[in-house]
């Protein structure tokens, strides 16, 4: 929810996703407009061939920001002369974004490759607060915190958009509602539901998403998010875990 140079993109995006070998979840970083931020990418592989940094904005396809091949850094055409920078130092290939704007709001991934393998090292969703007070006057409450389900079950994830002020925030544009997920196995965020142009009446109500659990790949942390007034409001997240049911001497036993 990340790669870099056209000459290096011999593999398709689908191939990249299938070769992921990591168990990390995507983290969340909240900044204000004008801030600077650095995302870590620490590499331990001895036969490193390339490092890629990817950007994926909500509802958009993945974009390549930059790539490092054999120590040579190349910023892709779209991001040249902008406020993105990579300065390799030792085993670090950190990405720095200067003077952050609302357009920088996205998930950023560090992706590395050797002669025989490739994997994602880190991933962070960068949320950028706008100048308006929408995000300060509203917050999303999700429940439950954790949901334990079995394969084939359907679970309903709930969220409530609550106001901290009695007066409603005025905004010239209609808000949009998202549900997205971070996964421990595939390590990239996926938007699973989008509702654009929410009315004020809808904002007074709770929101929900029905998830049919097919297998362990549906496990992960599910977040609700509302985007409006140049700001984003993100819920605390609901962790969906798989449980297995075994029979011991005629008795059922549930195991996480």
Nearest Cα to Cα of residue 117 among 219, 70, 40, 49: 49
Provide the Cα torsion 163, 103, 40, 118; round to 10°: 110
The CATH number that domain 6-129 falls under is 2.60.40.10
Both structure tokens of 18: 């299938």
Amino acid 232: pLDDT: 72
Say yes or no: do domains 6-129 and 134-244 share a fold.
yes
CA atoms within 13 A on the CB side of 81: 2
* Gap between the Cα atoms of 166 and 169, Å rounded: 9
- Neighbouring residues of 75: CB distance < 8 A, sequence distance ≥ 6: 65, 66, 82, 84, 86
Low-confidence ranges of the chain (pLDDT < 50): 1-23, 131-134, 184-189, 197, 199, 246-255
Per residue in 170-203, pLDDT (tens digit) is 555 566 777 777 764 444 445 555 555 454 555 5
Amino acid 224: pLDDT: 82
Give domain limits for the chain: 6-129, 134-244
Amino acid 108: pLDDT: 94
209 strand-pairing partners? 157
CA atoms within 13 A on the CB side of 16: 24
Q: Which CATH number fits domain 134-244: 3.90.940.20, 2.60.120.10, 2.60.120.260, 2.60.40.10?
A: 2.60.40.10
* Gap between the Cα atoms of 175 and 162, Å rounded: 14
């Amino acid at each position: 929810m990340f790669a870099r140079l056209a000459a290096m993109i011999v593999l398709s995006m689908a191939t990249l996703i299938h070769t992921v070998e990591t168990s990390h979840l995507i983290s969340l970083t909240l900044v204000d407009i004008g801030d600077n931020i650095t995302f870590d990418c620490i590499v331990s592989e001895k036969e490193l061939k390339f490092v890629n940094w990817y950007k994926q904005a909500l509802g958009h396809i993945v974009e390549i920001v930059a790539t490092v091949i054999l120590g040579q850094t190349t910023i892709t055409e779209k991001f040249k002369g902008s406020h993105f920078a990579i300065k390799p130092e030792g085993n670090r290939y950190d990405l720095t974004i200067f003077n952050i704007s609302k357009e920088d709001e996205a998930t950023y991934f560090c992706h590395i490759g050797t002669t025989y393998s490739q994997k994602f090292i880190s991933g962070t969703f960068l949320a950028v607060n706008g100048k308006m007070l929408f995000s300060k006057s509203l917050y999303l409450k999700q429940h439950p915190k954790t949901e334990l389900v079995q394969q084939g079950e359907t679970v309903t994830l709930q969220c409530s958009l609550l106001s901290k002020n009695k007066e409603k925030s005025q905004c010239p544009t209609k808000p949009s509602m998202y549900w997205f997920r971070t996964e421990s196995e595939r390590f990239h965020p996926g938007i699973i539901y989008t509702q654009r142009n929410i009315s004020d009446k809808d904002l007074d109500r709770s929101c929900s998403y029905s998830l049919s659990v097919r297998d362990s790949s549906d496990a992960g942390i599910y977040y609700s998010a509302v985007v409006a007034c140049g700001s984003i409001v993100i819920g605390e997240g609901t962790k969906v875990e798989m449980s297995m049911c075994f029979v011991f001497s005629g008795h059922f036993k549930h195991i996480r």
